Structures are given as C-alpha cells and as structure tokens.
Amino acid sequence: MDKLIIEGGAKLRGEVTVSGAKNAVLPILAATLLTDDACIIKGVPDLLDTNTMIKILSSLGKNVDVENGVISVTAAKSGNFVADYKLVSTMRASFCVLGPLLGKLKKAKVSLPGGCIIGVRPVDLHLKGIKALGANVDIDSGYVVAKADRLKGGHIYLGGAYGSSVLATDNVMMAAVLANGKTIIESAACEPEVVDLAEFLIKMGAKIKGHGTPIIEIEGVKHLHGATHTIIPDRIEAGTFLVAALITRGDIHIKNVFFQHLGALIDKLQEAGAAITKKDGSVRVRYQRPFKAINVTTLPYPGFPTDMQAQIMALMSVTSGISVITEKIYPDRFMHVAELNRMGAHIQREGPHAIVEGVKGLSGAPVMASDLRASACLLLAGLAAHGKSTVSRIYHLERGYEDMEEKLKKLGANIRREKE
Ligand code: UD1
C-alpha cells in the first residue's frame, strides 16, 4: 500500500485537464453486456474501479481491450450470468451488471455488495424495479438471484427515503430496454451520468425518452447492437480541482469541463467569493478576498453533490466564519471529520450536520483515507496545511481519480509517494 507525503503551502497555478467520469464509465461498460456486438468506449479514465469492471466483464464472457483510454468490448462467450462476490464486494458499482444480465439473458446472479464506510447502502430500490418488470427475485447465500421468462414493461416509482437512486435507475433502465412494452420510471435519478448511460443505450438501438428528468420512458426493443461512445468529463474531479485552487489560494484553469454539470457547486463557490469564469468547455477559478463561510446541503442532482461534501468541508475548515454542512444523501458520510480535526480543524458533528468553525490554518499531520472522496478531502487539506502531511491508504483515491498526484504536481503541489 502506498501513502502520499504532502508539503503544504504551495499555491496551485496553471492548467489541468479533467478525465472521463468514473460514475458514467462503470454503468456504460456494464451496458455492453446487453449485446454480443462490439462496443467502443472512448475517454475512459484509468482507475482501479474501471479495472474492476473490466475484470467483471471478462468473468462474464467478454473480451476487453484497453489502449490509451479506449476500451473495446467484444463477446468471447456469452451466457455466464454470475457476478462473483470477490469482485462485487470490492466495488459497489459492480451491482449495475444486474440490469443488463437480466435484460439480455433473462437471468442474473449477482453478489449483494454489502455496506461500506459511508453508510448502509441498501439495494431495495434496485430489486423493487426489476420485480416490477416481472423478474422473480430471491436472495440466496448473499447473492441476488433474478429470473424471468420474459420481462415486461411496468410503471415503477423509484424514490426512496433519501430521494432517487443513481445505480437503481441505471439497473432498471438497462433491464427495461429489452423488455416487452413500455416502462415508466418515476422519481428517476437525473444525474448527468444517468443521461450519459441513456445516450449510450440509445446509440445501441434503445428507445428512451425523458432521461435527465425524473420521469424516464422506455419502449422495449427486441435487440441492441454495438455502439461507439465518448464518456462525459468527470464533474467531481472538476469540482475537486475547483476546491484545490481555492484552498491553496491559487488560480487554475480547468479544461474538459461541462460547466452545466457543476451548477450547484459553482453557485456555492461564487457565494463564498471565488472568481470563476467559464469559457469554451473550461473554467478558470481564482481565490480572491473577501472569501467567506457558506452553508451547504447535499441533494440529488441538480442539487449539491454528496461526492463534493468532504472536499467543501476541507475548504470551509480554513475559511473564516461558521459553515453548516448538511448531508442528506448519506447521513453517516462524515469519516473525514475526525481526520480534519487531527489537522487542527474545528468541526463538530451533530447528526447529519457538520458545524465547521473556520481556523486560520491547518497543521500537517499523518491522516488516513477512509473512502474515495474523504481521501480527496484529506489531500486538499494537506495542500493547504503548514508543514508535512501523510495520507495513508491512498488506494481509495486511485479508485476514482486518474493521475491525481501527477496532475496536482504539474499545478505546483509538493507531493511524493512512498510505500507504507
Ligand atoms: C452513486 C454514485 C456515488 C454517489 C451516489 C449519490 C456511482 C457508481 N456512484 O451511487 O458516487 O455518491 O450515487 O449521488 O454512480 N438507496 C436506497 N435504496 C437503494 C439504493 C439507494 O435507500 O436501493 C439510498 C442510498 O443508501 C443513499 C441514496 O439512496 O442514501 C442515494 O444512493 P444512490 O443514488 O443509489 O447511490 P449509488 O447509485 O450507489
């Protein structure tokens, strides 16, 4: 296992290019299971999670070739419908092979992903959705076993206690594209990554309308064919660089950005005082005074993304004033609070709220990454802190950020990697 050593204090400056979106590429790779034809996916980020999905596809009979961010998927032998515990347990998003396996083969046996550090993370909405399409669903020895003689369209309400679900919407959409008749998903997730998946499915011959809104309509077709698709830029990576510029009091130019995907975050950063200018698929962000504390509540898209909550908390921890950060998607996603406090932050957790009292500066310390976005938060805190920080367990970072360390170095950050 590697760790990152950061000497804080450098103001980040220069240009950085955002990679393809992790949360788009994973379901899109899963969607290639819906056809035996060749699919070509471009702009694929080189991530641990992408590699896990490639292993799952190979285990399910696909040939996968990767070259320079382009993945070609062809069928070697179709028919395996079992997604193994070892692979699914390492990455929750693996569960999105359930929908396409069921859609194509009318049967699927997929390990339950289990909980994770950010919360319980049930799959009841996924199961409700595929049952409404006519599948019989059993839980057997930790696996979901779903079968149907034929899938038929249905009217499905997919809202849960915490709003819509991204991967449940993906799973149901991927099962419904090959069902008989029309499916309506109500309270569908509107995230750009769901839209990107729908666009890929449409290129494969699916009939989908309303993606990007809470009501998605799918007219089932008999057969899907191969397609070529380019993954959208990662809005969370872009957001992490926006915060990186501000937390280091820097000035950076972020390229390959769909700023329409960053509305809630940009709005909040401007409210705090950031100078942000958007031009031709890129964003320039510059720290300027006065810069003040803001309150943030995470919500499903187009609300403020939960995947940016930890990073904005790092920024607020060094911003004067009091900030209340409310987590409405994963009420337990606060593992980074204790680590930030170890660096001198003043953050108190009250249920789903974190009350952040901005301090003048953080001091470098050894800290431990607990999950993907918490690791980004600690890295950002380390960049802003006085002195040396060591972030352990950075494999979490590598699950979801392509080349983060190198990209930050090019912007002037003082980072090096060491074996633990
Ligand atoms: C996706 C993203 C993840 C992001 C999250 C919320 C991928 C690969 N991951 O995860 O980065 O943090 O969206 O934007 O795209 N829930 C239920 N029952 C279910 C499913 C979900 O109650 O069957 C709850 C969850 O526990 C959570 C909320 O719904 O409280 C939203 O979760 P969901 O949108 O499903 O997250 P993922 O799709 O797993």
Question: Which amino acid residue places its CA nearest to atom 5 of ligand 1?
Answer: 166
Mutate which of 124, 131, 137, 166 for ligand 1 pocket (most atoms within 8 A of beta carbon): 166
Q: Write out pLDDT tens, residues 205-221.
A: 999 999 999 999 999 99
Q: Which residues have CB under 8 Å from 245's CB, separation 6+?
A: 12, 251, 252, 285, 286, 287
Q: Which residues have CB under 8 Å from 122's CB, separation 6+?
A: none
pLDDT at 28: 98
pLDDT at 417: 94
Question: Which amino acid residue places its CA nearest to atom 35 of ligand 1?
Answer: 165
Which residue ranges in the chain fall short of pLDDT 50? none
Residues with CB under 6 A from ligand 1: 23, 26, 92-93, 119, 121-126, 160-162, 165-168, 189, 193, 306-307, 329-330
pLDDT at 114: 62
| DSSP secondary structure, 61-118, as one string | TEEEEEETTEEEEEESS----EE-HHHHTT-GGGGGGHHHHHHHHSEEEEE----BTT
Ligand 1 atom closest to Cα of residue 236: 11
Question: Which amino acid residue places its CA nearest to atom 33 of ligand 1?
Answer: 165
pLDDT at 193: 98
Question: Which amino acid residue places its CA nearest to atom 39 of ligand 1?
Answer: 167
pLDDT at 115: 57
What does the chain come to in residues?
Answer: 420
Determine the distance separating the centroid of ligand 1 and the alpha carbon of 166, expressed in angstroms. 6
